[in-house]
């Protein structure tokens, strides 16, 4: 088998199961410690970063979305004969290929028994089982997700939800035939949307298939309902296979997912905070214990803030990322953002990917030490859990024309 999962430790309490495991890709001779985050990509590239940047970061399992490559009827990536790893210049990384973008599952045209509709850069496209099989045959990723009829309407009726479960199971059976031919491990989506009974039915039926892992989707769900919906799925899945979650990318979501038996998460949080001009500053476990006397602290640092214009220290003195070890100061990155220089997001993204990985390392250590439940309470008490706002909101760009010796030109009114 090309993928093996070994559950190292399961510590039980009255309401939680905290899993520690190893995910072994035998063909690549590579082992990933779980819980872990995959690295998020847009159209096959880690946002803002080049291959040289990636070499300096702890990136192992990279997630790519098939819908990002289907903007044309005959995608150029389908004509490349050497596989997706080489096409993306990610030959030293493991690739997980799903169909939809895990950052946002926007509604598209309806699905049918014959095809799945996806949103691409070139408009709505239709993915059939044959097209999916063709893509996997050409791309040859290390791990694949099968097709699923995901419901995006939070008010969907039971009839629609049941149809999505049945349709996804049929597609799973079709996709499994091709995946076995290619000898590529499969993660199967567990459906059910907002209906707990359907989640249980989907999980039970999916677990009967020969799959190597499962995907639990709670994108768009209210915080109050997430735990119950995840639990309805994970309670009915075998404990000896890994579970990946969508919709739990925030630090709070990751902790909630781990508390309910999730092993893998999408890494889109690092990209989301980078786009807001923010740097991750939160800690977990032993690194946080010295600061437990405070509460409602921000989890990220707003680099658009004018308060940092004269802050000549790195983003985090304890961070080992390239942005912090050079070091590039807060004031310099603040200046780069104001000047709309591409180096600003590069430095922020490098830092945030590094810090998210460090957060997962701290979680694994905490589980190993048997202190995860208490460390989670400390984290939730210490930090503010309001959604991080866009750092550029209400911000005015600096006017550099005078300092550059260029006179402002008066606006001209064109006479019609």
- Alpha-carbon span 216 to 258, nearest angstrom: 12
Contact 283, 289 (CB under 8 A): no
The pair of structure tokens assigned to 21 is 């495991």
Place of tokens 């005078």: 402
- Residue 121 among known ligand-binding residues: no
How far apart are alpha carbons 327 and 308 in whole angstroms? 15
Using DSSP, state whether 353 is helix, strand or coil.
Answer: helix
The first and second tokens of residue 33, run together, are 């410690």
**Separation between Cα atoms, residue 109 and residue 113, nearest integer Å:** 13
Ligand-binding site membership of 85 (annotated): no
- As a three-state string, the secondary structure of 170-238 is HHHHHHHHHHHHHCCCEEEEECCCCCHHHHHHHHHHHHCCCCCEEEEECCCCCHHHHHHHHHHHHCCCC
Q: What is d(CA 70, CA 401) in angstroms, rounded to the nearest whole number?
A: 43
Residue pair 110/126 in contact by the 8 Å Cβ criterion: no
Cα 367 to chain centroid, rounded:
22
97 assigned to a ligand binding site: no
Q: Is 324 one of the annotated binding-site residues?
A: yes
372: Cβ contacts below 8 Å, ≥ 6 apart: 11, 18, 258, 363, 366
Give rounded-to-5 percent helix, strand, coil for the chain: 35, 20, 45
Are residues 277 and 302 in contact, defined by beta-carbon separation less than 8 angstroms? yes
Q: How far apart are the first and last CA of the chain?
A: 72
**Six-digit token string for 327:** 């070091």
Contact 372, 11 (CB under 8 A): yes
Question: Alpha-carbon distance 271 to 47, whole Å?
Answer: 7
Q: Are strands 30-34 and 17-25 parallel, antiparallel or unpaired?
A: antiparallel
Bridge partners, residue 23, by sequence: 5, 32
Q: Residues at the annotated binding site?
A: 319, 321, 324, 351
Q: Residues at the annotated binding site for Zn(2+)?
A: 319, 321, 324, 351
């Amino acid at each position: 088998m090309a993928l093996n999962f070994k559950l190292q430790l399961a510590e039980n309490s009255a309401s939680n199961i905290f899993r520690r495991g190893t995910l072994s890709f035998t063909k690549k001779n590579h082992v990933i410690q779980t819980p872990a985050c995959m690295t998020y990509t847009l159209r096959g590239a880690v946002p803002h970063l080049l291959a040289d940047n990636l070499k300096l970061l702890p990136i192992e399992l990279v997630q790519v979305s098939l819908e990002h490559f289907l903007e044309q009827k005959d995608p150029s990536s389908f004509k490349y004969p050497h596989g997706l790893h080489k096409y993306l210049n990610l030959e030293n990384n493991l690739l997980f290929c799903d169909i939809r973008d895990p950052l946002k599952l926007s509604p598209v045209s309806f699905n049918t028994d014959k095809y799945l509709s996806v949103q691409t850069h070139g408009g709505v496209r239709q993915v059939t089982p044959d097209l999916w099989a063709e893509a996997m045959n050409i791309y040859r990723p290390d791990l694949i997700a099968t097709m699923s009829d995901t419901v995006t309407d939070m008010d969907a009726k039971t009839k629609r939800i049941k149809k999505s479960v049945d349709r996804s199971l049929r597609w799973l059976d079709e996709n499994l035939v091709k995946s076995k031919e290619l000898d590529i491990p499969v993660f199967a989506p567990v459906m059910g949307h907002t209906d707990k009974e359907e989640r249980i039915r989907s999980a039970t039926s999916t677990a009967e298939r020969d799959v190597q892992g499962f995907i639990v989707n709670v994108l768009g769900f209210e915080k109050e309902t997430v735990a119950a919906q995840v639990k309805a799925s994970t309670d009915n899945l075998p404990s000896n296979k890994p579970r990946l979650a969508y919709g739990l990318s925030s630090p709070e979501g990751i902790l909630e997912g781990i508390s309910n038996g999730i092993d893998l998460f999408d890494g889109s949080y690092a990209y989301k905070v980078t786009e807001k001009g923010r740097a991750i500053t939160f800690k977990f476990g032993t690194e946080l214990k010295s600061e437990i006397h405070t509460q409602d602290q921000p989890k990220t640092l707003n680099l658009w803030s004018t308060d940092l214009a004269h802050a000549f220290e790195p983003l985090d003195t304890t961070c080992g990322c390239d942005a912090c070890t050079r070091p590039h100061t807060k004031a310099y990155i603040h200046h780069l953002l104001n000047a709309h220089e591409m180096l600003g997001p590069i430095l922020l993204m490098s830092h945030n990917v590094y810090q998210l990985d460090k957060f997962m390392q701290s979680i694994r250590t905490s589980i190993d030490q048997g202190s995860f439940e208490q460390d989670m309470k400390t984290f939730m008490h210490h930090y503010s859990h309001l959604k991080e706002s866009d750092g550029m909101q209400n911000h005015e760009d600096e006017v550099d024309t005078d300092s550059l010796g260029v006179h402002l030109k008066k606006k001209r009114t064109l006479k019609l």
